[in-house]
Amino acid sequence: MDAAGIAASALILGIIVVSLLSNVVVLICFLYNAEIRKQVPGLFILNLTFCNLLLSVCNMPLTLVGLVTTGYPGGSSGICQIAGFLDTFLTTNSMLSMAALSIDRWVAVVFPLSYHSRMRRRDAVLALSYTWIHSLCFALVAACRSWVGYNQVYASCTLCNTRAKGAGTQFMVFTLALHTLTFLLTLVVMCVTYLKVLKVARFHCKRIDVITMQTLVLLVDIHPSVRQKCLEEQKQRRQRATKKISTFIGTFLVCFTPYVITRIVELFSPGSISPHWGILSKCLAYSKAVSDPFVYSLLRHQYRKTCGSLVNKALKRSPLNSSSLRIESKAGRNTNNYNSTSHTQSSLSKPLNP
């Protein structure tokens, strides 16, 4: 195995470890916190976590074995057929779950007062049923037509052009339909919904900015440092929504675009794709299982709070005592600096953070 193979093997091993740990933490938080289980987005996140865990347990290790042994993993064609079926099913299911999450966020932001009537658990179950049926249809067609197997270009059990040589146009139409109705459809849904969310977020930021500037104008004797901090918070508020939406769409594009484009080019290119590029594009697709737990779950306040509670419970530490100790230590540090400026800043925090 050359240096590129060693680097790719190390990369996949790291992806497997981080993906398993992060997705297991998300699953534990879901099972531990009843509030998360009651929320509609929790069903979509649970489905996405389920797909990522199966991908990390079933498909990624076979790719690692294929890289290390430089050949056919799994020991039998049956194992590779099952892994190829799961590769198509899980990848398609995870993409559609991201589209469902973007629709849920759009409804929550654009229609906040009627969200609970528009997005019920029954609606979430129907959406998940569609993602499963959609994914199963494509995966079953590929498996029944024997279009899945070990692909040397990607060092994994997945859709295989060499096994579909006799199909010709049928395999080409199937592959184009698969990526159009999964990758492209999900990308369009995410762009449309998140851009509408961004539009609403910017509108609310403008309203808050007007209130902030009016407050700063009325408080003539405000300390310059407090005024500067208010302006900085105003700037961060405008950038926060843009950063989040850029993260949602950006991680999806970075992880899946190289793999999908390589698949499409492979259909029409007379030459063979470089195995180094094919394995790299597959690793990027696998890395989405690493980013999803952080992008959609672990960076949110509710999940971070649940993780903190689990850590305190594991260490047999009372969260009330630990928080009180932090408050007391912070109060001790700020006792000598407590003056009229702090009173002014606390009075500003209410209108600035509705």
For the chain, which ranges sit under pLDDT 50? 75, 322-354
In one letter, which amino acid is 187? L
| 208 touches 354 (CB < 8 A) | yes
Measured CA angle at 295 (ends 291, 301), to 5 deg? 135
In the prediction, which pLDDT does 92 show?
Answer: 95
- Residue 346 corresponds to which tokens in the numbers above? 């606390």
The 3-state DSSP class for residue 273 equals coil
pLDDT in tens, 73-108: 554 568 888 999 999 999 999 999 999 999 999 998
Identify the structural domains of the chain with CATH numbers, from first to last. 3-305 (1.20.1070.10)
Closest CA relative to residue 139, chosen from 162, 165, 157, 166: 157
Rounded-to-integer distance, Cα 133 and Cα 55, Å: 18
CB-based burial label for 23 (10 Å; 0-12, 13-18, 19+):
buried
CB-based contacts of 105, cutoff 8 Å, min separation 6: 41, 193, 194, 197
Rounded-to-integer distance, Cα 52 and Cα 214, Å: 48
Closest CA relative to residue 27, chosen from 291, 297, 316, 315: 297
Can you spell out the DSSP letters for 21-80?
Answer: HHHHHHHHHHHH-HHHHHSHHHHHHHHHHHHHHHIIIIIHHHHHHHHHHTS--SSSHHHH
In the prediction, which pLDDT does 313 show?
Answer: 85
In one letter, which amino acid is 52? N
pLDDT in tens, 139-150: 999 999 888 888
CA dihedral 6, 7, 13, 19 (to 10 degrees): -170
- Residue 69 corresponds to which tokens in the numbers above? 């042994």
In the prediction, which pLDDT does 61 show?
Answer: 92
In the prediction, which pLDDT does 263 show?
Answer: 92
> Which runs of E-coded beta strand occur in the chain?
148-151, 156-159
